[in-house]
Structure 1
Amino acid sequence: MSEDLYAQPDLMRKVRCEEESGEEMEDRDEREERLVDIYMSADSLRGYNGGTETQLAAVQDRGGGPHAERRRGRVRTVCLGLLYLLLLTGFTGLAIQHIQVMKEKNSLRASYQNLQASHKNLTEEKDRLQASHKNLTEEKDRLQASHKNLTEERDRLRARECEIKVETGEYQPFPKNETVVADAEKTPAKCRHLSVVLVSFGLLCILQAVLNVSLRLALSDSPFKTTQEVVIEEEVEVEHCPLNWLTSGSSCYYISSKRRSWDQSRQDCLERGADLVIINSREEQDFLMKFVIAAWVGMTDRQEEGLWRWVDGTPVMKDRLFWAPGQPDGAFGGEDCGDIRVMIDFVGLNDYNCSAKVSWICEKMLQ
């Protein structure tokens, strides 16, 4: 037993055992103190041994290695957590600041738009005020010119009044001398002569009137009429165009302001005692083209395609009238009614769909 006591212990195995048992202990510091106490008791029994010290240092290094590594791991974890927390805090602050900046930007943009609208309104108001100021200035100039003219007229009237007063003052104080008395005596004689002349003229007028009446009475008993009376009777017998109708030659023209089909337009003309217009010459066509842009006229080729006739049955003389370019063309599956067009690049007679809504021209002949 003494040999076992003084035998050199296997320090390496002891350390391993302690390491294995230390993994199950909660307090790491207490395990290290036990290990040191064991080494101290072993050295006191067999004396100091340099190799043993070296082994103890190695064992201590082995025993403290995992603990230090865990501690460093914990420190790293804590540092990383703190760093993450700082970054999260920084990003959150930047996001909040960005939101605030965007809100401020939108507010500034809205304020800028409001300022632009206000500036536009102020500019328009300034233009209106300038125009009003210009009008007021012109009105002021007109009033000043009128005032100047009135002032000059007033000065002229005052000057005239002064002249009249001067003349009145000059003639009133003149004494009546013998010459004036003689003229006053001669005045009744002159008035008598004038009265005689006026009476004579009146008698001549009365005599002329009596002669005219006698002549008219004599002519009324005669079976013959004077030329003037014949002309008057002819004027009375002449028929005039209705109200709001145009007159050209012996025809009256009614130009409608409404839009209807060709058949409806002709029915309206018949109800007015007329019919759709029949154009007999270029002069008549030129006259009507002054008052319309597009209007139905009284021609159609319903009875025979391509053979155009007026509403009175007479054929349309194409060579005597002016047609629009390329017309008549019978486009769009049949255009059997005629109208007159006055457009930029399309002027003259044209064939058109009879159901289309167009204004119309009625013609009525004078008796």
Structure 2
Amino acid sequence: MFLITVYQTLISSILFFGVPIIGSCPKNGFSLVTKCFSNDNTKLTWNQAKKACKESGGKLYEPKSAEELTLIYRHFNIKGWRWVGIAKKEIVTKDLGDMMSSDTWIYASGILRKIPEGLWAIDEPNDVDGSESCGVVGNYKNGLNDYSCSGKLGFICQFYD
């Protein structure tokens, strides 16, 4: 059964994208070229969600383009907010020193790269109450929003990147 699933995923990705994906997605996952995504409705804090993705062999989804973000949003038909793998740099790691300002957003995997401006929803990130340091996708169909890391939300994991 596993081999049939891998074969079907491989054929689908070759027919649709012209490129095979690596490995296979978890049950109810979504494949996109060399990445795989899963949507988990379990309500966790940002740090708990990051740990849950790592324990399942992945990481919190790290959006790289507006087009990819739109495909993920539409495929999972997201209602409400979902954690993604971006946060202010002091949330991701304490070892960066003064390399970036405290308002710099980076990927949860620790990649020292700013999040592309085009991924944010209009007027985001805005840190409304001074505690919004983690990224979410959801209610804004056209981009990311900042949210308090201690909130409990579902999350999107990413595999094979």
Same fold (TM over 0.5): yes
After superposition, residues 93-112 of structure 1 pair within 5 angstroms as none
Partner of 1:311: 108
Which residue of 1 is the match for residue 84 of structure 2? Answer: 297
Give the aligned residue type for 2:26.
Answer: P
Give the equivalent residue in structure 2 for 1:361. Answer: 156
What percent of counterpart residues are identical?
29
Name the residue aligned to 1:272. 56
Q: Match for 2:102: what amino acid?
A: E
Select 1:261's aligned residue among 42, 45, 62: 45
Paired residues of 2:23 and 2:160 also in contact (CA < 8 A) = no
Question: Which structure's relative contact order is higher, taking Cα pairs within 8 Å and 6+ residues apart?
Answer: 2
Q: Is the 8 A contact 1:251 1:363 kept in 2?
A: yes
Amino acid at match of 1:362: C
CA distance in 2, matches of 1:239, 1:300: 28
User: After TM superposition, which residue ranges in structure 1, 4 or more long, deviate above 4 angstroms?
Assistant: none
Contact 1:299 1:316 in 2 (8 A): no
Query: In the alignment, is the contact (CA less than 8 A) between 1:246 and 1:252 conserved in 2?
Result: yes
Q: Take 1:305 and 1:331, find their aligned partners in 2: how far apart are those partners?
A: 16
Matches within 5 A, 1:31-180: none
Gaps of 5+ in 1: 1-233
Q: In structure 2, what is the Cα distance between the partners aligned to 1:283 and 1:324?
A: 13
* 1:153 counterpart residue number: none
User: Does the aligned pair in 2 maintain the 1:324–1:341 contact within 8 Å?
Assistant: no
SS of corresponding position for 2:37: strand
Q: Which structure carries more strand by proportion?
A: 2
> Is the 1:300–1:308 contact (alpha carbons within 8 Å) kept by the matching residues of 2?
yes
- Structure 2 match to 1:285: 69
Q: Deviations over 1:13-39 (max 9, x none)?
A: xxxxxxxxxxxxxxxxxxxxxxxxxxx
Matched AA of 1:358: L
User: Offset of 1:313 from its aligned partner?
Assistant: 2.4
Q: Flag the structure with higher helix content.
A: 1
Q: Could you tell me how far apart the structure 1 residues matched to 2:136 and 2:118 are?
A: 16
Shift of 1:330: 1.2
Q: Residue 327 of structure 1: which of 124, 130, 145 is its match?
A: 124
**Partner SS, residue 283 of structure 1:** helix
Count of residue correspondences = 128
**What is the CA-CA distance between 1:302 and the residue it aligns to?**
4.2
Amino acid at match of 2:52: D
1:351 to 146, 153, 157: 146
Maintained 8 Å contact 1:274/1:364? yes
Query: 1:308, 1:319 → 2: CA distance?
Result: 10
How many angstroms does 1:365 deviate by? 0.6
Q: CA deviation at 1:247?
A: 0.9
Which one-letter code corresponds to 2:149 in the other structure?
C
Q: Secondary structure at the match of 2:138?
A: strand
CA deviations on 1:241-291 (whole Å, 9 max, x unpaired) are 222211111111010012111011111101101000111112211111112
* Counterpart secondary structure, 1:325: coil
DSSP-derived class of the 1:305 partner: coil
The aligned counterpart of 2:35 is 251
Unaligned ranges ≥5, structure 2: 1-9, 12-21, 91-100
**TM-score using structure 2 length:** 0.71
Please report how far the alpha carbon of residue 342 of structure 1 lies from its aligned counterpart in structure 2 after TM superposition.
2.8
Aligned partners of 1:348 and 1:320: how far apart in 2?
8
Q: CA RMSD in A?
A: 2.1
* 1:327 match: secondary structure: coil
